[in-house]
Amino acid sequence: MIDLPQPTGAELWPPEEAGPAARLHKPWRMLVAVVEVLLAVAAGWGAYACWRSSVATVVTTTDDGAVLESHRYFGGMLVAAIGLGTVAALLLVDAVRQLTLAIRARSPKPKA
């Protein structure tokens, strides 16, 4: 086992930054969370609309009377639906984070 010298107070890295410590508890984060939830709902609605419009049903009747039904998929609309769904999920995850920081994060208690 190698015994390495331990750093002292003057040798610590990274050095402490001057100025006030950043606060995580900011009540306006709750407003940000509400806006993100509303945007996520709009993105989810857009994803649903894109998904529904990405499929077209084509019905053809042959000469012998057989009815053939097929589905045509439009890739651009499917990609848009998947993208909007992903954006909605990310917005919801960040809204939970913002809400948690707005409610639970407190400043560290001063040392006595």
Return all residues near 27 (Cβ < 8 A) that are at least 6 apart.
102
pTM for this predicted structure = 0.67
pLDDT tens digits, residue range 73-98?
Answer: 999 999 999 999 999 999 999 999 99
* Residuewise pLDDT in 10s, the chain (112 residues): 777 777 666 656 666 666 666 666 677 889 999 999 999 999 999 999 999 999 999 999 999 999 999 999 999 999 999 999 999 999 999 999 999 888 875 655 666 5
% of the chain residues with pLDDT over 90: 62
Residue 8, Cβ neighbours under 10 Å: how many? 7
What pLDDT shows up at residue 2?
Answer: 78
What pLDDT shows up at residue 14?
Answer: 65
8 Å CB contact between 101 and 26: yes
